[in-house]
Chains A and B, each alone.
Chain A
Amino acid sequence: MVYWRIIRKSYRRNLQYRLSHLINNVASSIFGLVFIAIWMGVLRGKAVHGPYDAETMACYIAICQSVLWVTTFMSPGLNVQVGVRSGAVSLDMIKPVHYLWYTLSQEFGRLLYNACYRSLPIGLLLGLAVGFSFPSDPLAYLLFLLSLLLAAYVGMLLFYLVGISSFWTTEVRWLHLILLSLVFGFGGQMIPVDLMPGVLGQLAPFLPFAAMIYYPVMNWLELAPVYSIGVQLLWAVILTVVALAVTKQARRKLEIQGG
């Protein structure tokens, strides 16, 4: 299938960077260690809160840091804005493959690469530091995988929407930074979203940002609520519809400008 070929090609293109990335993984792990150290300092000598004792929290953060590379650390705007600026997008849009799926396949190849050369080594390094935690139920692995795929998909669509906004604006950098900080703030990377105070704690689990980080991690820890996959699926559907509609508009805009 053509999309599978695009994915494989993009994966192989990224392989060139693996050496420098493997070194960078050590630095990335330091970020993880800092977060873990903060939580250890916060929880030390305090009554255990819900499922989050010190040990679980350390694993939560470690797995988060690993999952981030598949669901959050994507190319800004999925590089759509690059094509818009150079004009290459007009060629991409007349390809016999749909532009949205073409862009997503490109990115997915990179995410597969990230999974092998970023997530796994970082998970390994942090696991060595805080101890490994594996699901006991084989079904949990399946749920985790499904949840992870949905998380990556939701993430890609959000990034895509930022990128395609470049059809109407000149600069997507700030929109990208806003999206990223929303994901970091409300996705559960620093604090499990259900631990957030007040309304935020009730609202955050149902935002698309939690679908990107919080749910896959909780599925791995076998702590996810039953509706977790449902929330992710819902956002996947909503964002797909939006992305398709916006792509259609962008296409029309391109025709008006004359390519």
Chain B
Amino acid sequence: MLYRKLIAASLRSQMQYKMNFITSAATTGMIMVLDFVILSAILHRFNDVAGWNIYEVGMLYGISSASVSLYRLFAPEVNDFEKYVVHGEFDQMLIRPVSPLLLLLTRNLDLSRIGGIVQGVAVLVLSLAGLAREGADLLWLIVFSPIAIFSGGVIYFSMALSSAALSFWTHQMRDILTFTIYAPANASNYPISLYPGWLKWLFFTALPIAYMNYLPMLALLGKGGGWYYPLLAPVAAATALFLALTFWKIGIRHYHSTGS
């Protein structure tokens, strides 16, 4: 398969710098751990946030940070797409016999994000252990976690791809990403019910992060959601991906080279 070949080539070139990979992955993981430690410190003191205890928030947090890291691992060039439009590098991709999106995805892997995935999974495991001590039923939580992480990764990817498509018109993307990736990634670490109405509304529609962890966890942690809530995660991910791909194609048709 073409994807495998191209990705293998980019991996081989990165593995020339093994030490760099190890230190960068370790630092990325450590930084994210510190963030969670501070959150634990807050919840240690105040017990719960809007009725969610540390282990329950940990489930949200673990899924969200593993998902966003999964997206950052596989699609660093989508996250960094602005440079392609601004410097006109995108022109070269259009004349290749492979689709531009496949080229973007195979050009690079950001291996340092593996640290973030490890951190997210570690938070999940700790939270599951804590929930087990409280006597919760773990079966469905364990079954659902990988589905959630994968769906979340797809949702983040879709939001990023839409932002990249938007940059065909706006010629800039970094400020958009703060809206579409960084702020949602931060917000989805915690229960969505905390936020003011308009923000909540955004997280259920245009930036659909509520479906990857919050809604499913409502049901799985017995906080009063419908039994089908967990199923919404893959459904929302597929819908978001479809819309993003459509928008991306429209964007490419609209693309005018900067001609530099």
Contacts and interface: CB of A to CB of B under 8 A. Distances in A.
B45 A46 contact: no
A246 interface: no
A30 B172 CA distance: 20
Nearest to B190: A38
Interface stretch (A110-118, A194-202, A247-255): A194-202
Interface stretch (B27-35, B63-71, B123-131, B139-147): B27-35
A196 B41 contact: yes
A185 B35 CA distance: 7
B41 A34 contact: no
A30 B183 contact: yes
B212 to A, nearest CB: 17
Interface in B172-213: 172, 175, 178-179, 182-183, 186-187, 190-191, 193-196, 199
A33 interface: yes
Interface string A171-193: 10010011011101100001100
Contacts of B187: 30, 34
A176 to B, nearest CB: 10
Contacts of B48: 42
A21 to B, nearest CB: 8
Contact of B20 (A43, A49, A171): A171
B231 interface: no
Which of B31, B186, B191 has the largest number of chain A CB atoms within 10 A?
Answer: B31
Nearest to A34: B187
A177 B43 contact: no
A91 interface: no
A190 B38 CA distance: 8
Contacts of A40: 194
Interface in B33-72: 34-35, 37-39, 41-50
B45 A34 contact: no
A163 B34 CA distance: 23
A41 interface: yes
A24 B175 contact: yes
B interface, over-half SS:
helix
Given A30-B199, A33-B196, A37-B195, A200 B175 contact: no
A28 interface: yes
B38 A191 contact: yes
Contact of A37 (B34, B35, B45, B194): B194
Nearest to B39: A190
A191 B195 contact: no
B46 A43 contact: yes
A34 B27 CA distance: 25
Interface of A: 20, 23-24, 27-28, 30-31, 33-34, 37-38, 40-44, 46, 49, 171, 174, 177-178, 180-182, 184-185, 190-191, 195-197, 200
Given A30-B183, A46-B47, 10 more contacts: A23-B175, A27-B175, A27-B179, A49-B46, A174-B27, A178-B30, A181-B31, A181-B34, A191-B42, A197-B44
Interface of B: 20, 23-24, 27-28, 30-31, 34-35, 37-39, 41-50, 172, 175, 178-179, 182-183, 186-187, 190-191, 193-196, 199
8 contacts: A27-B178, A31-B186, A38-B190, A41-B50, A49-B45, A177-B28, A181-B31, A197-B41
